[in-house]
Structure 1
Amino acid sequence: MDDATPESTDPADAFAALSDPARVAILRALWETDSRDLSFSELRAAVGVDDSGRFNYHVGKLTDRFVRKTEDGYRLRLAGIRVLGAIFSGVVTEDGSVEPLPFEEPCPLCDGPMTFSYENEYVSVTCDDCDRFSMRYPVPPGVFTPYDRAELPRIAESYARSMLARADDGFCSICEGHLVPALLPGSETTDLGEWELDDVPFVVYTCERCGQRLTSDLGVALLSRPLVAGFFYDRGVDVRDAPLLSFVAAHE
């Protein structure tokens, strides 16, 4: 609805407001209040800025973009929370790479061994034998922080499931825009690398706002459907626990 569309701010101006470390510290201090509004003096004490005028200048740069001024003081806006989320996830502060390790599931095309790798914030699973199967998707570094290296493939799959669930619900993981699914053959899908799967159906989710695309094998995309999940459950398979690759439709 047109009357529900919020006023927009120039993105360059919005990000320029985060250019001083004190302003990021203000966002962190408001996050750590357990949703309680902080008065100007409380917020200044939490950040540790002695000069009241200087601190007022920094708060002013954040107000109405990342911080909301209330009767009781200041609180984070959703934009401020999202900025902190990017910091906490590691996408702007950590290096997203680990050494490759063996992947437990065999290649769905040739049953050969596969390798899991994480480099430049992208997970890749590739076949060591046929070089025809590959799977690649972004994962924020912070997702892997609490886990041992051997657990990373399992955690990456859980994250992939969450991405597919959001896509299936119609939400873009980049901009929260509306995703539109389309059933396409491999020949019309640009995200498949070296796969030779021209006649295999894939589901491509495309964001109407930012253009982001997420491609899923049809067999995996259908797992959220009650009839499909029920079919497997009646045969002793819980689709929530079984590896995603066991449902890939792209078998020879």
Structure 2
Amino acid sequence: MDGEREDGEGRPAVAAATFSLLANEHRMAIMRALAAPGEDGHDPAGLTDRQVYTADAVGPPTKSYSELKAATDIRDNGQFNYHLNELLGTFVRKADDRYRLTWLGLLADHMASTKLETDGVGRAFDADADCLACGATLRAVYTDEQFFELSCPDCGIGYEQMHVAARGVESHTDAGLLRAVASRAHHERGIFATGVCPRCSGSVERRVVLPPDADRARTVPQPLVYCRCTACHAPDFPTVGSLLLAHPAVVGFYHDHGVDLRRTRPWTLPFAASDAAVTVESSDPTRLSVRARRDGETLVVAVDETGAVRGVERDRQ
């Protein structure tokens, strides 16, 4: 028990010591310089065809000592060398007289960039999709806190919520942002469905959560699946149907009816975003069935309390 307590108490100290290395404007300047591409927009070192297949060459761009120093405003050699050496091993790696960010360095730079890019990024617009419950036009809102939300302004149903980094949002039109969010939703929920965290690759626990009061107006379109990473504790709350969109039976059903789910926005699919598509067969234990209908054929997917598929039926009427 003592060993566990010491380990738990030691983690914050290690984290504090690690991030304290970045608490200096010169070191952050070195980090930003290493993260930046060359003037032509490409890695200044370039990659040969052979290097493309070399694992060590796949990663952040590299810079020579002179390139790196020239990209910063640190003119004193001793000061530059001191701060560069402080970063080596944790955030920066040196190999063959070239420097590059480690993967931890990339994450740290991403966090720093995300903080710097928060001002004036908010926007709101009407989405080109209607609420499946009341028919009103959905409203998309992206805040200065870099949080995207898609909901119905009339009945209040929420269809999508996720963090989207400002760096990516700035490159998209409104329609492009919706496509990006839809792609992220497909990708991340598909990974969560396999029991793996899309953020840290840790093991994920899942459980279906039914609305606490069936008579109360719902603010979400379906029963939810509470997904929680046991390693980084990242949560997600997809609808039951959206968690199943990557299942082979669901993909195959829609493909047979001419629908490529990868290019479909989940909030436009009743299977993923309509309460009418879900039947609660039992609450103890939790058992659900989710239905998709296309061209006279019905797909019924049976789901247990963890959101796992327990049976699939197709019926043409």
Return the TM-score normalized by structure 1. Answer: 0.79
Unmatched tracts of structure 1, length 5 or more: 1-6, 189-193
- Count how many residue pairs are aligned between Structure 1 and Structure 2: 240
C-alpha separation in 2, matches of 1:64 and 1:40 = 16
Match of 1:76 in 2: 101
- Specify which structure has the higher proportion of strand: 2
1:188-227 matches, within 5 Å, as: 195=218, 200-227=222-249
Question: Residue 29 of structure 1: CA displacement?
Answer: 3.4
State percent identity of aligned pairs: 28
- 154, 157, 163: which is aligned to 1:129? 154
SS across alignment from 1:131: coil
C-alpha separation in 2, matches of 1:197 and 1:27 = 42
Question: Residue 48 of structure 1: CA displacement?
Answer: 4.5
SS across alignment from 1:61: helix
CA contact (8 A) 2:157 2:220 kept: no
CA contact (8 A) 2:65 2:97 kept: no
Whether 1:94 and 2:95 are equivalent positions in the alignment is no
C-alpha separation in 2, matches of 1:57 and 1:132 = 55
Question: Residue 74 of structure 1: CA displacement?
Answer: 3.5
- Comparing 75-84 and 227-236, the one that deviates more: 75-84
- For residue 62 of structure 1, what is the amino acid of its counterpart? L
Question: Residue 96 of structure 1: CA displacement?
Answer: 6.6
Which one has a bigger Cα radius of gyration? 2
Alpha-carbon displacement from aligned partner over 1:153-195 (angstroms, at most 9, x marks no partner): 333222323332343354435545332333332339xxxxx72
**Structure with the larger RCO, 1 or 2 (CA within 8 Å, 6+ apart):** 1
Alpha-carbon displacement from aligned partner over 1:80-133 (angstroms, at most 9, x marks no partner): 122233345x35433374332112222122223221111121111121222244
Unmatched tracts of structure 2, length 5 or more: 1-9, 38-43, 46-59, 277-317
- 160, 180, 186: which is aligned to 1:161? 186
Match of 1:191 in 2: none
C-alpha separation in 1, matches of 2:133 and 2:177 = 23
Return the TM-score normalized by structure 2. Answer: 0.64
Question: Residue 10 of structure 1: CA displacement?
Answer: 1.4
SS across alignment from 2:130: coil
- For residue 29 of structure 1, what is the amino acid of its counterpart? A
- Comparing 37-46 and 159-168, the one that deviates more: 37-46
Question: Residue 225 of structure 1: CA displacement?
Answer: 1.0
- Comparing 127-136 and 201-210, the one that deviates more: 127-136
Question: Residue 230 of structure 1: CA displacement?
Answer: 0.4
- For residue 172 of structure 1, what is the amino acid of its counterpart? C
- Comparing 174-183 and 212-221, the one that deviates more: 174-183
